[in-house]
């Protein structure tokens, strides 16, 4: 099911090489650095719909992350090339993105995760209970 969602029309895949500064004392990627990897993929994904953070701000909405889940299967190590796939899977009432991090060479799944963001009207600081029309416009779909 996760792989089907990651093949959505709003998806991106990028490749990174694990750097020494990402490691913990056990010589594997420190768990907190995976959040940064997700951020890199999320920004690349949002760029594809021309609605990254500057465009969000210009539209009058901020989109804070209200929920983050990570599930670690295998550690990433120094010098390893990893692929990060990100896909938008929900947009009506929130922006939910799913991620899969794999080893570039073998395809072995290392980590999977999700982030959930909600629209906040920057003028009133009120959370929106439905995504604003600008998101649907950027996605090229009609609001529900």
pLDDT in tens, the chain (144 residues): 344 555 578 999 999 999 999 999 999 999 999 999 999 999 999 999 999 999 999 999 999 999 999 999 999 999 999 999 999 999 999 999 999 999 999 999 999 999 999 999 999 999 999 999 999 999 999 876
Cα(144)–Cα(76) distance, rounded to whole angstroms? 40
8 A C-beta contact, residue 81 and residue 108: no
The DSSP code for 94 is S
Looking at the domain assignment, is residue 144 inside a domain? no
For residues 128 and 121, the answer to whether their CB atoms sit within 8 Å is yes
Asked if the structure places residue 9 within a domain, the reply is yes
Residue 64, both tokens? 């804070």
Q: Total structural domains in the chain? A: 1
Whether 93 is in a domain gets the answer yes
CATH number of the domain at 88, please.
Answer: 3.10.129.10
Backbone angles phi, psi at 61, to 5 degrees: -125, 140
Residue numbers of the domain that contains 117: 2-139
Residue 11 lies in a domain: yes
């Amino acid at each position: 099911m996760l792989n089907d969602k990651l093949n959505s029309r709003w998806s991106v895949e990028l490749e990174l090489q694990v750097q020494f500064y990402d490691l913990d004392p056990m010589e594997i990627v420190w768990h907190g650095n995976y959040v940064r990897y997700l951020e890199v993929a999320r920004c690349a994904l949002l760029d594809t719909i021309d609605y990254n953070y500057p465009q969000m701000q210009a539209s009058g909405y901020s989109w804070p992350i209200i929920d983050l889940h990570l599930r670690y299967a295998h550690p990433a190590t120094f010098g390893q090339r990893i692929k990060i796939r990100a896909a938008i899977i929900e947009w009506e009432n929130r922006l939910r993105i799913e991620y899969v991090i794999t080893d570039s060479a073998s395809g072995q799944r290392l980590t999977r995760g999700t982030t959930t963001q909600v629209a906040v009207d920057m003028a009133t600081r009120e959370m929106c209970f439905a995504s604003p029309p600008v998101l649907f416009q950027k996605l090229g779909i009609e609001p529900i």
